[in-house]
């Protein structure tokens, strides 16, 4: 009996999608759509823009799915496509250069024992820090790739990532144990 898409591994689904399988690609979209949309929102995109870019990313992925050879996960591959599309969209709008420098409004500290999720913690970061941390740890970009994508010096990118992680560490401190493991964190 033929396997149903829902029972298949991502690599199998991608191979069938490369041969034109819409149902199989649909299953990939169902599996990874939320993660891609969440990444774009974490990078700073408004929900409607994030959904729009995520759809574009999946359409691009469908056209290029034959290039996906299973090195790394399908989710990571689509996230990179989505991140690039989002950066291109932003650079077209030429918004971020002016906006990136803005620091966020300081928010209240987290009380010990309070449940903190990543999205909340990211609110403490400036836009450029959030973008750099999300590209690095969410989309798997290297520091040089981020520097090239954002047209920023490599050292600046490294310090944005470090500062962003320091802020996240401080925000997540109540829910991270001494080994860096989450005590009770919602993703």
Partner 1 sequence: MSGPDEFDPFIERLYARAPQMADADLFAAGVARRLERGSRFRGVFLGAAGLIGGVVAVRETLATNFVFRAGEAAEGSARAVDTSLTSVGVQGQQAMMNGLDQLGLGSFIDLGALGGMTLFWGLAAALVAAATLGALKLTGQT
88 binds partner 1 (CB under 8 A): no
Q: Under the criterion CB under 8 A, does residue 173 sit at the interface with partner 1?
A: yes
Q: Given candidates 8, 18, 49, 51, which one binds partner 1 under the rule CB under 8 A?
A: 51
Establish if 38 lies at the interface with partner 1 (CB under 8 A). yes
Q: At what angle do helices 74-93 and 47-64 cross, to 10 degrees?
A: 120
Of 2-10, 22-30, 92-100, 147-155, the segment contacting partner 1 by CB under 8 A is: 22-30
Asked if 70 is part of the footprint of partner 1 (rule: CB under 8 A), the reply reads no
Q: Which is closer to partner 1, CB of 15 or CB of 54? A: 54
For the bound state, the minimum distance from the C-beta of residue 115 to partner 1, rounded and expressed in Å, comes to: 13
Q: Whole-angstrom Cα distance, residue 104 to residue 29?
A: 33
Size of site (CB under 8 A) for partner 1: 39
Of 95-154, which residues contact partner 1 (CB under 8 A)?
118, 133-134, 137-138
Positions that interact with partner 1 (CB under 8 A): 22, 25-26, 29-30, 33-35, 37-39, 42, 51, 54-55, 58-59, 62-63, 75, 118, 133-134, 137-138, 165, 168-169, 173, 176-182, 185-187
């Amino acid at each position: 009996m033929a396997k149903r898409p829902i029972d298949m591994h991502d690599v199998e689904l991608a191979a069938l999608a490369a041969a034109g399988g819409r149902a199989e690609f649909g299953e990939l979209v169902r599996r990874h759509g939320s993660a891609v949309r969440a990444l774009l929102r974490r990078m700073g995109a408004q929900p409607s823009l994030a959904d729009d870019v995520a759809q574009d990313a999946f359409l691009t992925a469908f056209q290029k799915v034959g290039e996906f050879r299973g090195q790394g996960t399908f989710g990571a591959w689509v996230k990179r496509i989505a991140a690039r599309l989002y950066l291109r969209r932003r650079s077209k709008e030429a918004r971020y250069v002016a906006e990136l420098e803005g620091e966020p409004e300081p928010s209240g500290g987290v009380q010990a024992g309070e449940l903190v999720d990543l999205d909340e913690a990211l609110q403490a970061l400036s836009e450029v820090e959030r973008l750099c941390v999300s590209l690095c740890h969410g989309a798997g970009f290297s520091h040089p790739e981020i520097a090239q994508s954002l047209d920023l010096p490599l050292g600046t990118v490294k310090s944005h990532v470090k500062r962003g992680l320091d802020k996240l560490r401080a925000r997540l401190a109540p829910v991270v144990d001494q080994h860096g493991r989450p005590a009770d964190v919602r993703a």
